[in-house]
Chains A and B, each alone.
Chain A
Amino acid sequence: MNIHEYQAKEILRRHGVPIPEGDIATTPDAAEALAVKYGVPVMVKAQVHVGGRGKAGGVKYCATPAVAREKATAILGMDIKGLTVLKVLVTVAEDIGSEAYVGIIVDRATKKPVFMVSAAGGIDIEEVAATTPEKIKYHPVDPRYGLRTFEAMEMGFFLYQDVKQARAAAKIMQQLYAAFIESGCSLAEINPLVVTPTGKVVAVDGKMVIDDNELERLPAIEALRDESSEDPAEVDARKANLTFIKLDGNVGCVVNGAGLAMATMDLVKYYGGDPANFLDIGGSSNPEKVVNALRIITADKNVKAILFNIFGGITRTDDVANGIVTATKANPLTVPIVIRLTGTNEELAMKILTENGFSASSDMDEAVQKAVALATGAAA
């Protein structure tokens, strides 16, 4: 789960990280009032779950409260990579001496949280990683000890020569690590970490991504979820315990298991079609899930054919068959459906489908070809 910059900053602030004052505004009036309250100059920053906000014009420097109002007017409602900006963060603009990068991610290779730090921080950090990787220091942390002071100091001195700054950065890294662990993050970063002309070390931007598997035991973090900044169909799917990602094609796919779902999409492409979505109904079967899956898929007007590909292990194929029958009785389909079922209770599933006027096959390759032909025929 993504959280907004202002939410990440609140968490980091609670852990002691020095962060310029700021608050959220949803109207130009409120933005102007915050600029007056904190004193100018301020930054007005779009709060959307996407990178490259600055390059898209969503982050502006404002020398006066009137400018803050003007910039907030422009940014609120702006579209950044398909997401509408509904909130801006108004925050004190720090004078910037230098910009560093400090991030932590759970690394698959070392199987540990790994710090990445660089003195060459700022908006071009990816460029730095690609072209001058020696400017980035990696440091795996043993989670049983946490980030010890000597480790943090080593990274602090990698960033800064001055001992006061190195020490300040080291403390911030320990605070960031504590926030990372306590908030169940898969990623936490400060970019840039700024040294001001007076030598203060402050975090000017913060980002956190939460491991979805942590949300059940961290209700306070789950409460930070902002549904207005997510795709409505994906919100709907999540509530129905389905994994759904909308794509641009016209073959609607309902599959059990992520690997098989991806392989099904690949096969749709292989036969010249285009998948409309990734949809995984997951392991345990229940007709209600199928009903929800069909509702979400048929809401997409691009869908010209629906393809079910179910390999029953834990999933009982008769449950899927019952779900298809229930859903289509309530809302008759307007597009053709191709059903492939095999595995647990296959005979029963086939019987249920046949009795209700559906045909089904047990061969994946054949079913995909048929669905592609139907979608292509309908589109032509």
Chain B
Amino acid sequence: MSIFVDNSTTLLVQGITGRDGSFHARQMMEYGTKVVGGVTPGKGGQMFEETVPIFNTVAQAVAATGANTSVIYVPPPFAADAMMEAAAAGVKLIVCITEGVPVLDMTKVYPYVKEMGARLLGPNCPGLITPGQSKVGIIPGRICMPGPVGVVSRSGTLTYEIVNLLTKAGIGQSTCVGIGGDPINGTNFIDALAAFEADPQTKVVAMMGEIGGTDEQEAAEFVRTQMTKPVVGFIAGQTAPPGRRMGHAGAIISGSAGTAAEKIEAFEKAGMGIAKRPMDFVELVKARL
């Protein structure tokens, strides 16, 4: 078992002929992900790597392949439309890797995707991987191995660091999910935690948060009230200086919320294990398995 992606995932790559899209499409295919189609307007009818058909639109691709998942590697000005196009075509899981999507675009994308009944991961995220089954995005496959730990993180490379430490210590993962660091993202910590709670393979969850916002505090409250499985947490930015103020409104909306100290306190209150250093995850997770 796993969450969000597995052997039944059939994937479209939006932007498959671009520099990043083609590189990562190849990497995903090598990993064993079922890449069933690509989308690049104007290149419909061509083949990618001689095996993957390319379509002009997501709707055509879905009609021809029945894909249930799409991953987006298109440049920022086109990313919002790409996400909505996937949702309109009936794709159920949309993973947007693109970094630099304007937040005002996301205020429109988020409600639309929700209305279409799709799940969005990202934007500005590394995607997700269920080791041994399916990789959607850019998480390096070779640092992962199948096992009982659910991983959810706001960061990219920090996630790799911790997954790598776990794997080296012989501790595998059920699914690793990078939710992305943008202010508005499709899937948050609570969504992933709820899915891990319901997943029989997952025994322990490792969660990596960052300073800013209140997502981690809300996640901690969810852990306290709704979860039976142990969770180990880390907050990056414990020593970051207070950010340059965003005028009065920033202070008003967040109050004192968003500091590392406050988030760690919320973790403690929820009875979570707290990793002070990335390497602490190994012992803390091991003790809870």
Partners in one complex: yes
Q: Using a CB–CB distance below 8 Å, which chain A residues touch chain B?
A: 51, 101, 103-109, 111-114, 116, 125-126, 129-130, 136, 142-144, 181, 184, 186-187, 189, 191, 207, 209, 211, 213-214, 216-217, 245, 247, 255-260, 262-263, 265-270, 275, 278, 283-284, 311-315, 342-344, 364-365
B118 at the interface (CB under 8 A from A): no
A186 touching B106 by the CB < 8 A rule? Answer: no
A258 touching B181 by the CB < 8 A rule? Answer: yes
- Residues from chain A with a CB closer than 8 A to the CB of B140 are 312-313, 343-344
- Residues from chain A with a CB closer than 8 A to the CB of B250 are 105, 187
- Residues from chain B with a CB closer than 8 A to the CB of A130 are 255
- Residues from chain B with a CB closer than 8 A to the CB of A258 are 155, 181, 210
In chain B, what residue has the closest Cβ to A102?
B249
Convert B95-111 into 0s and 1s, putting 1 for each residue whose CB lies closer than 8 angstroms to a CB of A: 00001111110111011
In chain B, what residue has the closest Cβ to A123?
B248
Task: Give chain B nearest CB distance to A368 CB in angstroms.
Answer: 9
Contact of A364 among B20, B138, B155, B278 (CB under 8 A): B278
Complex CA–CA separation, A217 to B276 (angstroms): 41
Complex CA–CA separation, A75 to B210 (angstroms): 39
Complex CA–CA separation, A105 to B253 (angstroms): 8
Task: Give chain A nearest CB distance to B175 CB in angstroms.
Answer: 17
The 3 closest A-B pairs by CB, nearest first: A259-B155, A257-B157, A259-B158
Contact of B104 among A101, A211, A216, A255 (CB under 8 A): A211
B76 at the interface (CB under 8 A from A): yes
**CB-CB contacts below 8 Å: B91-137 with A:** 99-104, 106-108, 110-111, 126
- Residues from chain A with a CB closer than 8 A to the CB of B195 are none
B164 at the interface (CB under 8 A from A): yes
B156 touching A313 by the CB < 8 A rule? Answer: yes
B160 touching A106 by the CB < 8 A rule? Answer: no
A267 touching B213 by the CB < 8 A rule? Answer: no
Report how many A-B pairs have Cβ atoms within 8 Å: 173
B160 touching A108 by the CB < 8 A rule? Answer: no
Interface stretch (choices B41-49, B220-228, B234-242):
B234-242
B161 touching A364 by the CB < 8 A rule? Answer: yes
A191 touching B181 by the CB < 8 A rule? Answer: no
In chain B, what residue has the closest Cβ to A185?
B104
Q: Given A126-B251, A313-B138, is A106 in contact with B161 using a C-beta cutoff of 8 Å?
A: no
Task: Give chain A nearest CB distance to B155 CB in angstroms.
Answer: 2
- Residues from chain A with a CB closer than 8 A to the CB of B107 are 106, 111-113, 143
A116 touching B239 by the CB < 8 A rule? Answer: no
- Residues from chain A with a CB closer than 8 A to the CB of B153 are 259
Task: Give chain B nearest CB distance to A104 CB in angstroms.
Answer: 7
Q: A108-B184, A313-B160 are in contact. List 7 more A-B contacts (CB 8 A).
A: A105-B253, A245-B241, A257-B155, A263-B236, A266-B239, A275-B239, A364-B279
B76 touching A213 by the CB < 8 A rule? Answer: yes
A262 touching B211 by the CB < 8 A rule? Answer: yes
Please name 12 pairs of A and B residues whose Cβ atoms are closer than 8 Å in the assembled complex, sorted by A.
A108-B215, A143-B104, A184-B102, A213-B100, A255-B157, A258-B181, A259-B159, A262-B238, A263-B236, A266-B238, A270-B277, A313-B139
B210 touching A262 by the CB < 8 A rule? Answer: yes
Complex CA–CA separation, A356 to B159 (angstroms): 31
- Residues from chain B with a CB closer than 8 A to the CB of A365 are 277-279
Q: Given A313-B157, A365-B279, is A265 in contact with B239 using a C-beta cutoff of 8 Å?
A: yes
Task: Give chain A nearest CB distance to B123 CB in angstroms.
Answer: 10
A213 touching B101 by the CB < 8 A rule? Answer: yes
B252 touching A106 by the CB < 8 A rule? Answer: no
Complex CA–CA separation, A94 to B181 (angstroms): 43
In chain B, what residue has the closest Cβ to A188?
B249
Task: Give chain B nearest CB distance to A192 CB in angstroms.
Answer: 11
B277 touching A111 by the CB < 8 A rule? Answer: no
- Residues from chain A with a CB closer than 8 A to the CB of B99 are 283
